[in-house]
Amino acid sequence: MTQSIQPVRVRFAPSPTGHLHLGSARTALYDYLIARKTGGQFILRIEDTDRKRLVEGAEQEIIDNLHWLGMDWDEGPDVGGPYAPYRQSGRKQIYQEYGDKLVEMGCAYYCFCTPERLAKVREEKQKSKEPPHYDRTCRSIPLEEARKRIAAGEPHVLRFKTPLAGTTVVRDLLRGEITFDNKTLDDYILIKSDGWALYHLAAAVDDHLMKITHVIRSSEWLPTSPLHSLIHQAFGWQEPVWVHLSVLLKPSGKGKMSKREAMELSGEGYSIFIKDMAKLGYLPEAVVNWVALMGWSYDDHTEFFTMQDLIEKFSLEKLNPSPAATNFSKLDHFNKLHIKELSDGELAKRLQPYYESAGIHAGLPMLEKLAPIIKERIITLDEAVEMTRFFFTEKADYTTDRILMSGCSSEETIACGEQVLNALKEQEDWSKESLDLAVRGLMEKAGKNPRQFLGFVREAISGQKVTPPLFESMEILGKEAVLQRLQNALDYIQENC
């Protein structure tokens, strides 16, 4: 049996310090997929011990974004569970107790160095080109003495007593054994002077208490992974399987995504934040498909996956540790594919909010009629509104530079337009097929090409450059509106051209 077939317990452990971005969404997705695939549990744990960096509303936004992507969880701050609380701010006492245990076992010590002294140590280390680690002054303070100083109210932190020699080996599922020379490690802080545990201790304790089997997380945690291993070892706990995911690179593939790049992307109609995806017209299905393939593949050719496909096909063994570029044209590509997959009724439902926010109260029956004719033509959902705006306006807006049949005078355009108008007045069968036959017949008689003739009819009924297919649009618009618009166009030419 491979590791991923046994039921896993995995956690997504965001810090509520900002918006959920692609990288975190990917971590959550992989957690979710492996939990669902193996019949295990997916846990949401909010890591909010860094009280200064908390952003109000961030936790709720993360929850909403994960739901939008189609994920749910078995345990979490909002759903409870056997290992509650799932918000680390509710577990301060637990971390204190485990910190004390480490002290008693001789694996941690109290440090009384002031921030000023620490800054000086750092500065000196930097000058002598050494890693800016703590110089371990307080490591030799006898515990009795330290306790007295604490009782007297002296500010202090708790530090891990990292072994001074030897190596620590972290076994990463994707990268194999990574050996760290203990000399290169710091005596990291476990609990700060305000009594709050830092991520390292809190996460290790919670991963143990919550029986986490696999820690799937961003590779930014690789450098401190030996500390996490050492904490587990100090307590004699079994370590979870460590899975450090690939780094996400900026679209050019050169370097990690920076804040500046993120800003530039938003100018191009893209975003790295999940909260923006709906507004930009992306389907959650497409975002999930796209994100899933940033560092995982099923084989070398399958690229279309629904969430259900992913649950069936996902495996940790196929994760790829090499950095992955964030390719937004791929997102467009997946959005197109997933839009095509939606039924007309479903697409109508997904489109409705975009019309509403454009101030167009398009009912679902109308949107359901439009769905099949725009399905193949839009990349993002919001594009539908512009493309079909003329269905919802009283009149089409004309401009003198576009209304005339290309290469034709106003007289010639009017003559052709009148022929169309008169013929369509007599038209009884208003199906797209009959309209197609009738209008093309007139075009041939007039000796015009489609760009000229159909271009004019398109402009006359819509006033738009880009529309869904002409005859389908005419059928949906209806006879009365089409005749009225042809008449309007002729009047406009008479008055303006």
Give catalytic residue positions: 259
Beta bridge partners of 215: 242
- Please give the full DSSP string across 67-123, using - where no structure is assigned: HHHT---SBBTTTB-TT---BGGGGHHHHHHHHHHHHHTTSEEEE---HHHHHHHHH
Specify the residue, 83 or 221, whose C-beta has the smaller distance to ligand GLU: 221
- Among 20, 157, 203, 490, which residue sits at the site for ligand GLU (rule: CB under 6 A)? 203
| Nearest distance in Å: CB 12, ligand GLU | 7
Tell which positions 387-446 bind ligand GLU, by CB under 6 A: none
- Among 112, 221, 237, 328, which residue sits at the site for ligand GLU (rule: CB under 6 A)? 221
Specify the residue, 194 or 220, whose C-beta has the smaller distance to ligand GLU: 220
Binding-residue pattern over the window 147 to 186 for ligand GLU, x denoting contact by CB under 6 A? ----------------------------------------
Specify the residue, 13 or 347, whose C-beta has the smaller distance to ligand GLU: 13
**By the rule CB under 6 A, 13 interacts with ligand GLU:** yes
| Nearest distance in Å: CB 17, ligand GLU | 8
Contacts 24+ apart (CB under 8 A), 247-251: 247/218, 247/219, 247/323, 247/324, 248/22, 248/23, 248/26, 248/294, 248/295, 248/323, 248/324, 248/325, 248/326, 249/323, 249/324, 249/325, 249/326, 250/325, 250/326, 251/325, 251/326, 251/327, 251/328
Question: Roughly what angle, to the nearest 10 degrees, separates helices 344-357 and 364-374?
Answer: 110
Residue 370, both tokens: 């439009």
The H-assigned helical ranges of 110-250 are 115-127, 143-151, 199-209, 225-235
Q: Is 156 within 8 Å of 112 (Cβ atoms)? A: yes
Q: Which H helix or E strand runs over 214?
A: strand 214-217
| Nearest distance in Å: CB 215, ligand GLU | 6
Binding-residue pattern over the window 47 to 86 for ligand GLU, x denoting contact by CB under 6 A? x---------------------------------------
Specify the residue, 15 or 413, whose C-beta has the smaller distance to ligand GLU: 15
Total residues binding ligand GLU (CB under 6 A): 10
| Nearest distance in Å: CB 30, ligand GLU | 11
The H-assigned helical ranges of 254-399 are 259-267, 274-277, 284-292, 307-313, 328-341, 344-357, 364-374, 383-387
**By the rule CB under 6 A, 206 interacts with ligand GLU:** no
Specify the residue, 21 or 377, whose C-beta has the smaller distance to ligand GLU: 21
Residue nearest to ligand GLU (CB): 217
**By the rule CB under 6 A, 21 interacts with ligand GLU:** no
How far apart, in whole angstroms, are the C-alpha atoms of residue 459 and residue 490? Answer: 11
> Residue 232, by phi and psi: left (phi above 0), alpha (psi -120 to 50) or beta?
alpha
User: In this structure, are strands 248-249 and 324-325 parallel, antiparallel, or unpaired?
Assistant: parallel
- Among 9, 214, 217, 389, which residue sits at the site for ligand GLU (rule: CB under 6 A)? 217
Q: Is 235 within 8 Å of 97 (Cβ atoms)? A: no
| Nearest distance in Å: CB 70, ligand GLU | 21
| Nearest distance in Å: CB 48, ligand GLU | 9
| Burial state string for 444-474 with b = 16 or more CB within 10 A and e = fewer than 16 | eebebeeebbbbbbbbbbbbbeebbebbbbb
Residues 6+ apart with CB under 8 A from 220: none
Task: Give how far Cα 294 sits from Cα of 92, 175, 238, Å.
Answer: 36, 17, 30
| Nearest distance in Å: CB 202, ligand GLU | 9
Nearest to 169 by CA among 102, 103, 232: 232
| Nearest distance in Å: CB 89, ligand GLU | 13
In this chain, which stretch among 216-224, 236-244, 284-292, 332-340 interacts with ligand GLU, using CB under 6 A? 216-224
**By the rule CB under 6 A, 89 interacts with ligand GLU:** no
**By the rule CB under 6 A, 284 interacts with ligand GLU:** no
- Among 4, 15, 49, 388, which residue sits at the site for ligand GLU (rule: CB under 6 A)? 15
Tell which positions 32-51 bind ligand GLU, by CB under 6 A: 47
Specify the residue, 221 or 235, whose C-beta has the smaller distance to ligand GLU: 221
Q: State which amino acid sits at residue 450.
A: P
**By the rule CB under 6 A, 14 interacts with ligand GLU:** yes
| Nearest distance in Å: CB 45, ligand GLU | 8
In this chain, which stretch among 8-16, 260-268, 435-443, 473-481 interacts with ligand GLU, using CB under 6 A? 8-16
Length of the chain: 497
**By the rule CB under 6 A, 199 interacts with ligand GLU:** yes
In this chain, which stretch among 7-15, 318-326, 363-371, 407-415 interacts with ligand GLU, using CB under 6 A? 7-15
Q: Which residues sit at the interface with ligand GLU, rule CB under 6 A?
A: 13-15, 47, 199, 203, 215, 217-218, 221
